[in-house]
Structure 1
Amino acid sequence: MKLTVLGSGSPEAYARRASSGYLLETGKDTILFDCGGGVFDNLLRSGRRPSDITHLFFSHLHSDHMMDYARLVHAAWDEGAPPLKVFGPAPIARITQGYFGPDGVLSHDLRARTELVPSQEVWKARGGTLPRPWPAPEVTEISPGFRHNGDGWTLSSCAVPHAQPVLDCMAFAVEAAGRKFVYSGDAGPCNALEQLCAKADLLLHWCYRLDGEGAHPMMVPLTPTPSDIARMARKAEVGRLLVTHFRIHMDQPDRHGAAVEAMRSEFGADCAIVEDLDTYEV
């Protein structure tokens, strides 16, 4: 498996980091976890095309994890790709209809592109045939505990504390060819996540707050620090730890370096803070 970081940031507008998005390639499949703002552009910068994505899994439906969803679906459709397989918590089906349904926010664009003769001629010149159907992602609404069998890979999930009860929030594990990758989503510490991480070859975990950084009392149990994450990863016997979702103030050189040292003191040397467009073998 190969991991490419397409977005390692937060909801904050930040030139250094797009919002959340992580590409995992395994066998013939290219799996995208989350699709926040800026992820689409980084997908292109990484040398891939929208039509390369075979599966999209949403950990939860905060905007910074799904802002580029419509753009990805529309662009893949415009390339003539098969319908994207989309998995996410409710109401992802209603959101998808809200974009691409008969009365969706993109319905006027889609009518113009599929019904006007000049647009039809452009489509035919690119190898398309008529009538041209609208985008129709294959959407499956999922709940924590969901499992999926892919072509040579399996995915499992668990609930993680983050924005309940408004949003269902999940972490995912993918296993293929004897290797295991875990993506935490936005997660507070919990036994279910620790069990999901057990003996993972690579854990990609969000980090919203630094050691010693104050937070509202309700945020503290939901936002583990680098030390907290590293301790959990060591306990779960993770092979390699990567942290992501860094905010602007956390990237100040002294704070960035202190976060790495905090992780290494608890976990060991094989840990890092990811950057957009980094790649890793799992």
Structure 2
Amino acid sequence: MKLWLLGTGTPTPSLRRMCSGYVVRVGETYIVFDHGFGAHHRLLELGIRATEVSHAFFSHHHYDHMGDYPRLLLTRWDQGAGKIDELDVYGPPPLKLITERLIADDGAFGPDLVSRTENQASIDVYHARGGQGMRARPAPRLHELTADAAVQAPGWTVRVAPVNHFAPHLVSYGYRLDADGQSFVYSGDTGPSRALGELARDCDVLVHMCHYMSGTAPSKTFAAFTMGHRELAEMAAEANVRNLVISHVTEQFDHPGLREQIVRDVAEIYKGNIFFGEDCMEIPFTAPCPVKLD
């Protein structure tokens, strides 16, 4: 497997950190985990086309985790010109309702889709791209997951765990992808979660939100629904994670000196490999290795 960080930031606007998004390659299959605003731009920077993405998993329905969902869905449909399978989309409810409100006749992109499937100028472009006959509307395969679900596909499996984030207003999940003897766990957004800790046990890579410096949470609710850096270190150590990626980084500590302090504090508790995530960073599934001295 290969893993790239598309967006390591938060809802706070940033030119350096896009909103949450990650992409994994398993063989020739590209799987997206969350696709917040700006994540699709990073996908393009990595040279990965929307038409190459076949599956998308969403952890929850905050806009910084799915703002670029319509861009992925519509670009993939438009550029695919009817020659590729429909996108498989997974996530908590109300995924189906959200998608309907995007692409139904009375949805946000309804007028656009009507024009692209009925206007001759758009049909000409469709045929020029290799499409044949009448143009069908996008019809993604939507899978609303339960908290104990498992998704199996040739060569890989994704398992689900419920996590602690903005309940009861949102349903939020973490995911574990296993393929080729390697494992990737993505927390989504969460505070301390026993279920996620079990899901992450002995995994090769854990990408986890690190939202604030421990001890500075403004309320008990905030600390329950988001993760501080020391709590994250304790969870990763308990789960025996091999590689820990700090992501969903806030402006609170995203400054020279403070980033290093976070890594130092985490290393006092967690003894595996630590990555302070940056957009477009590729994360190894083994230990980081030095390169040739030049």
TM-score interval for Structure 1 and Structure 2 normalised by the shorter chain: over 0.9
> Among 100, 106, 112, which residue is 1:97 paired with?
100
Distance (whole Å) between structure 2 residues aligned to residue 204 and residue 183 of structure 1: 5
What is the TM-score with the length of structure 1 in the denominator? 0.97
Q: 1:269 Cα shift?
A: 5.6
Q: Which residue matches 1:129?
A: 132
Other-structure match for 1:43 = 43
* Alignment match of 1:258 (pick from 258, 261, 271): 261
8 Å contact from structure 1 (residues 14, 248) kept in 2: no
Residue 71 (structure 1) aligns with: 71
Give the letter for the 1:136 counterpart. Answer: A
- AA at the equivalent of 1:14: S
3-state secondary structure, aligned to 1:250? coil
- Amino acid paired to 1:192: A
2:192/2:225 contact within 8 Å kept: yes
Q: Is the 8 A contact 2:204 2:242 kept in 1?
A: yes
Q: CA deviation at 1:117?
A: 1.3
Distance in 2 (CA, whole Å) between partners of 1:109 and 1:193 is 40
C-alpha contact (below 8 Å) 2:212/2:252 kept by paired residues = no
| 1:168 and 2:171 aligned | yes
**Which stretch of structure 1 is more off in the superposition, 86-95 or 221-230?**
221-230
5+ residue gaps in structure 2?
286-294
Q: CA deviation at 1:254?
A: 2.1
Question: How many Å separate the matches in 2 of 1:61 and 1:267?
Answer: 30
Q: How many residues align?
A: 282
> 2:291 maps to what in 1?
none
Check the 8 A contact 2:105/2:111 in 1, yes or no: no
| Cα gap change, 1:187 to 1:196, in 2 (>3 Å) | same
Percent identical residues: 36
**In structure 1, C-alpha distance between the alignment counterparts of 2:33 and 2:25, rounded to whole Å:** 11
Scaled by the length of structure 2, the TM-score of the pair is 0.93
Is the Cα contact below 8 Å between 1:143 and 1:168 reproduced in 2? no
| Cα offset, 1:201, TM superposition | 0.9
Amino acid in the other structure paired with 1:5: L
Tell me the residue number matched to 2:24: 24
RMSD: 1.2
* Equivalent-residue separation in structure 1 for 2:217 and 2:194 (angstroms): 24
* Distance in structure 2 (CA, Å) of the matches to 1:150 and 1:27: 12
Aligned counterpart, 2:290: none
Is the Cα–Cα contact under 8 Å of residues 87 and 140 in structure 1 kept in the other structure? yes
Residue type of the partner of 1:49? R
Segments of structure 1 that go 5 or more residues without pairing to the other structure are none
User: What residue is the counterpart of 1:111 in the other structure?
Assistant: 114
Which one is further off, 129-138 or 248-257?
248-257
In the TM superposition, 1:1-282 aligns within 5 A as 1-80=1-80, 81-268=84-271, 270-282=273-285
